[in-house]
Amino acid sequence: MPIGLRSKSKINTEKTPPVKLKHLWLFLTWPSRAYRRFEWWCISKFLQTKDIKRERVTLRLHEMYKQQKELALLYYFRDLALTTRVEDQVKADMSVVKKMIAEGADVHACDDMGQNLMHEVARYHGAEMCYFLLSCKININLENDYCVTPLHVAAASNNSSVVEILASNGGLLEATTFYMLQTPLHYAARYNSPSSVKKLVEMGAVLEARDYRGRTPLLLAAELGRQSAGAMLLECGAKVYAIDFTGMYGISAMVDKCPPLALKALDTCMEKDLRNRKQYYSLQFLEPVTLCNDISAKTTFTVLEETVRAGSGNLDIMKHEMIQKMIEVKWRQFGRRGYIKELAAYIIVLINWSLLCLFHPIDIPSDEDSAGIRQPDDIGIIAVEKANEVLTVLFFIYQVFDEMREFRSNTRRHKAFVQQRMKQLEMEFKYLELLSEEEKEYLYNEREQVRKSSSLYADDMWNYFDWFSILLMMITLVVHFVIQYQYPQYKVERGILLSCTLIIVWLKMFKYCRVLEMLGPFCVILAALPKDFIKIAVVYVILYIPMVCLYYHFYSGPYDDITEAIRNSDDFDENLYGHLQQTCFTVFVYTLVGDYGYETLKRISYIRFGTQYFWFTQCAIAYWIIISAVLLLNIFIALMSDTFTRVYENALLVSQFERAAMIVSLENKLPSYWKKHHLIDISYNYAPAAAFFDEDDVPEDDHFEEEIRNADSALKSIVTKQMGKKDKDLIKYVKEKMQTQADLISKILDRIESLQSSSSRLEEEVIYEESTSARQSSSSSSSSSKRRASQEMAKRRESKSEDSCKTQ
């Protein structure tokens, strides 16, 4: 933007002669033609007004020119910031700045937002310009319309040098912004500026300052996922257990938004006493007593809940010692007792359904007239059967109510969390003009994620299996009683449905076995196998359907064209390919290398096609056996083996995750007063929790070999890319380079030894000459001889120092 008029002539405001429009036009030297036309229209409107004199128009234009000239420096620095965003490239020309000041630019001028030059310099410029403005006595604590000081801007821009200068020259470290009440340290955490965080803390900034929501800088960094700034705040000693006014907890927010930062925060909650071989776990920091209040208890997820919500894909937090200790404590508090109760109730359910199936076998002959009537000697069995049916119905009702209670508690808790989180985001959306574009986009994405988020109950696939089993049990019970007392002729259909339900009910037992240390890893491995089964099933169906069509097309019944003698022979079985259902099963038997009726296919081929086309039947049989029994079956076994190897490494950890999920589920079912009791118990009896620690016991890293393999592959790819070497020549290339380096190092060592030996000989010669010169000086009395000896000794010392420097 231009500075203004170049003419320095003064304007006489007393009795100024009328000025023509073409003279007024010279005052407006704007770069844009459109803006020039707009100014022309404004001036013409002024001149058309009868009450305004032309002299006042001239004064107004002069004021406009003067104002533009005063803001010239602001426009200059703003243009630099817009054209070059890189910090190293934003450098103002000092000569241009001084020239503008000489032409009338005001250093203390402010723009329409209330910002002065220090706001612009603090953003991208260095210490030189900052010192220059300080020499001009500029106000470094000037607040703009939103109470943002230059120190806020420097902290947000990670400009640590300017932060130090401003803080050491009277900058207010605790200045707060309008509405948000955030200090420069909040701004440094908000915009992920670790250098500014470190410098502000060194200069004396308060680490636990609170903004309008009661958030500390660390809590703000955790909520926004600012890992670098959060890690620096932790190094500076920020408290990890802070809670804001809305109930948001610090470590929980870290687990949700920034897991690497959560790991560092959890490390600060542990302390090792090497003298007494003790390790202390401050579990009260993970779930403080303040979570007992109504707002936090309903709207805030604990650290363990957030870990479970993160899913089994993020196991780094789950394997942390603090989380493992919390799982151990909660399992001892209420987890084991609640698990045993649920397991005992479900074992009774299994016994009831098993007895229900055993009491009604299909192979017992029954008369329709005497259906449901037993002999007097079976009165004991009748009583047990009726009691079992009553218990089956009662425990079915208990299962339904227990599942509905869990569903309702999880849904209410998640709904309260979503409402509270949306309120927090709405508070941030009130002042979007204070935020950058990146922050606006982050808040919009966060709002969408909160709206689409699901509860812990919906994320657990076992709950869907529970509802499926409950629905199947309900249908089976209704069908059982209807057929038992109304339609006994359908007892076979009832038996099939009852058997299928019994299988599903027993499969649900894996839900309770997954939390045990012995069976948990096995259940995890079994849960991972269905994915491989689905993959191979899709491929199998693609190859299976055309083979079924082929066999049904050529070899299906009826066999009217085949004689009765052939059909009655032992080599011919018309039940293998007689109908579509039989054909489908027989084609599947090929995969298991079972009896597929080769002689039957041979006789059908001879009769229908003749002997000249029997080769087609042989090719079809060989093709399907090779594809299904050899290729697909072995691929399926290889897939399961690979899954077992891959899952087994983290199977124990995943079983711990399943135990944590069970603990969270049981905790959500507890009444509020029991939750408060357990929180108080943790805060008083486990603050901290002590455990034995041996410094010599180094835990094995399960992922060490995997990290080595990843590093090896990464090294290979980097060297191959940089050096143009292939993988097979990589080891040879590295060995050659290492041998070259070893030879060079050996030569350097030999040279050092030779220099050391030469320096030792030189020292001996110098000592001998000094002793000789000393004897000569004592015998000689002339001063000239002493002077020459001292000069020679000085030369020898200089040569010795030069040799020692070369040796070094």
What is the tens place of the pLDDT at every residue in 242-259? 888 877 788 888 888 888
pLDDT at site 694 = 62
The mean of the pLDDT values for the chain is 75
Q: How confident is the model at residue 360 (pLDDT cuts 50, 70, 90)?
A: confident
Q: Each residue of 631-662: pLDDT tens digit?
A: 888 888 888 888 888 777 777 788 888 888 88
List Cβ neighbours of 675 (8 Å cut-off, separation of 6 or more).
292, 297, 667
More confident site: 703 or 534: 534
pLDDT at site 701 = 46
Q: What's the whole-number mean pLDDT along residues 373-396?
A: 76
More confident site: 621 or 719: 621
204, 528, 765, 794, 795 from 758: Cα distances, Å:
57, 72, 11, 20, 18
Three-state DSSP state, 638: helix
Q: What is the DSSP letter of 642?
A: H
Nearest residue to 776 (alpha-carbon basis) of 762, 764, 790, 765: 790
Helix (H) or strand (E) holding 364: none
pLDDT at site 775 = 58
pLDDT of residue 377 exceeding 70:
no
Could you tell me the sign of the dihedral formed by the alpha carbons of 278, 284, 285, 286, in that order?
A: positive
pLDDT at site 55 = 45
Q: Each residue of 1-29: pLDDT tens digit?
A: 322 322 333 333 333 333 333 344 444 44
pLDDT at site 4 = 31
Helix, strand, coil percentages (3-state) for the chain, rounded to 5, are: 70, 0, 30
pLDDT of residue 395 exceeding 70:
yes
Could you tell me the sign of the dihedral formed by the alpha carbons of 656, 658, 662, 663, in that order?
A: positive
Enumerate the β-bridge partners of residue 691: 279
Distance CA 710, CA 676 (A): 46
pLDDT at site 346 = 92
pTM reported for the whole predicted model: 0.68
- Hey, how many other C-beta atoms are within 10 angstroms of the C-beta on 726? 10
pLDDT at site 554 = 84
Nearest residue to 62 (alpha-carbon basis) of 100, 35, 24: 24
Q: Each residue of 111-165: pLDDT tens digit?
A: 777 788 888 888 877 778 888 888 888 888 888 888 888 888 888 888 888 888 8
Q: What is the DSSP letter of 176?
A: -
**Which amino acid makes up residue 154?**
A
- Hey, how many other C-beta atoms are within 10 angstroms of the C-beta on 296? 19
φ/ψ of 272, rounded to 5, equals -110, 130
**Which amino acid makes up residue 308?**
V
pLDDT at site 695 = 55
Pair 469, 490: CB distance under 8 Å: no
Enumerate the β-bridge partners of residue 278: 273, 692
Alpha helix positions (H), 6-71: 21-25, 33-48, 54-70
Angle made by CA atoms 97, 98, 99, in degrees to the nearest 5:
90
Look up residue 630 and give its two tokens: 């050899």
pLDDT at site 52 = 44
Helix (H) or strand (E) holding 481: helix 461-485
Q: How confident is the model at residue 291 (pLDDT cuts 50, 70, 90)?
A: low
Q: What's the whole-number mean pLDDT along residues 50-77?
A: 52
The domain locations on the chain are 334-363+377-513, 523-649, 705-776+784-807
Angular region, 585: left φ>0, alpha ψ -120 to 50, beta rest: alpha
Q: What's the whole-number mean pLDDT along residues 287-313?
A: 70
Three-state DSSP state, 249: strand
Q: What is the DSSP letter of 569?
A: S
Nearest residue to 152 (alpha-carbon basis) of 234, 94, 211: 211
Distance CA 570, CA 577 (A): 16
